[in-house]
Amino acid sequence: MEIPEFTDQGSQVSLINENASQRLRLPRRKVNAVVSGVGTALGNCKGLITIECKSIHSDFAFETEALVMKKLINNLPNSTLQSTTWDYLQNLKLADPEYNVPGPIDILLSADIYSKIIDEGVLRRHPNSPVAQLTKLGWILSGNVKTLNCLVTLNELDTLTKFWKTEDITNQDQLTDTENFCEQRYKETTERLTTGQYVVKMPLKRDIAEKLGKTKPQAIAQFM
């Protein structure tokens, strides 16, 4: 089964998305882990599987463990690349023959895999064209490619003015007693779990319990 892969020289672990994992129907082992990206957490993994990857051009194959994630990254590339001017790539056996067409990335191979598959052979042209690197899976491409994406947004001046007024940050000195109480409540009761999630108690008003009274019997009666 052909599944799109992507090598990341900065990744410490190999990852596979949930959809590809289910298509492969491989046995899954339970594991507790949180995978973090650049400044943010990608989420909790949903298990660990062992996958075998094989070149489409030769008998070269390898095994690796991959953490199962709900989603990896968005489609790559972001838009279709015009490769007609890159004549030096025409006769290469590429690891991904459809590299210029946007598509999902199902597997992210870690840096240790990259070091195992890298081979001698580099082709490069001008700065705005891809660099081709030979690997045991075929030629892979990287580098800077110029693309033009133009997004135009029209807004009325009055709408923008209202937006900035709405998004204006309130001065901390102008907080009301209720807001100060709520902020203090968060500071005193907020804690972070080992999973990376935050837990905080509900900021109920001081006298709300007395005003509400005992509502549990009425709530149970309505539920029943």
Looking at residue 145, its pLDDT comes to: 64
Instruction: For residue 171, tell me if it sits in a domain.
Output: no
pTM of the model: 0.51
Closest to 7 in 3D by CA, of 143, 140, 144: 140
Cα 43 to Cα 15, 67, 122, 152, distances in angstroms: 12, 11, 36, 33
Are residues 21 and 108 both part of a single domain?
yes
- CA dist., res. 83 & res. 90, Å (int): 9
Please report where in the chains the tokens 């997004």 appear, as a residue: 151
Instruction: For residue 155, tell me if it sits in a domain.
Output: no
Which letter does DSSP use for residue 183 in this model?
H
Instruction: For residue 22, tell me if it sits in a domain.
Output: yes
Are residues 187 and 103 both part of a single domain?
no
Instruction: For residue 135, tell me if it sits in a domain.
Output: no
Are residues 9 and 114 both part of a single domain?
yes
Looking at residue 155, its pLDDT comes to: 61
Instruction: For residue 71, tell me if it sits in a domain.
Output: yes
Looking at residue 156, its pLDDT comes to: 62
How many folded domains does the chain comprise? 2
> CA geometry: angle at 2 spanning 56 and 118, to 5°?
45
- CA dist., res. 51 & res. 97, Å (int): 22
Q: Could you list the residue range(s) of the whole structural domain that residue 30 is in? A: 5-89+99-118
Looking at residue 212, its pLDDT comes to: 78
Instruction: For residue 139, tell me if it sits in a domain.
Output: no
- CA dist., res. 1 & res. 13, Å (int): 22
- CA dist., res. 114 & res. 35, Å (int): 19
* Contacts of the segment 115-122: beta carbons below 8 A, 24+ positions apart: 116/62, 117/7, 117/60, 117/62
Instruction: For residue 150, tell me if it sits in a domain.
Output: no
Q: State both tokens at 43.
A: 């989420």
Instruction: For residue 170, tell me if it sits in a domain.
Output: no
CATH of the domain at 108: 2.40.70
Residue 79 contacts by C-beta under 8 Å, 6 or more apart in sequence?
102, 147, 149
Are residues 104 and 182 both part of a single domain?
no
Please report where in the chains the tokens 């030629």 appear, as a residue: 139
Looking at residue 50, its pLDDT comes to: 92
Per-position pLDDT tens, the chain of length 224: 556 656 666 677 888 888 888 888 888 888 877 776 654 455 677 888 898 988 888 889 988 898 888 877 777 777 777 766 778 888 888 888 887 788 888 888 888 888 888 888 888 887 778 888 898 888 888 877 665 555 555 666 666 666 666 655 655 567 788 888 888 888 888 998 888 888 988 888 777 777 877 888 888 999 99
Are residues 10 and 105 both part of a single domain?
yes
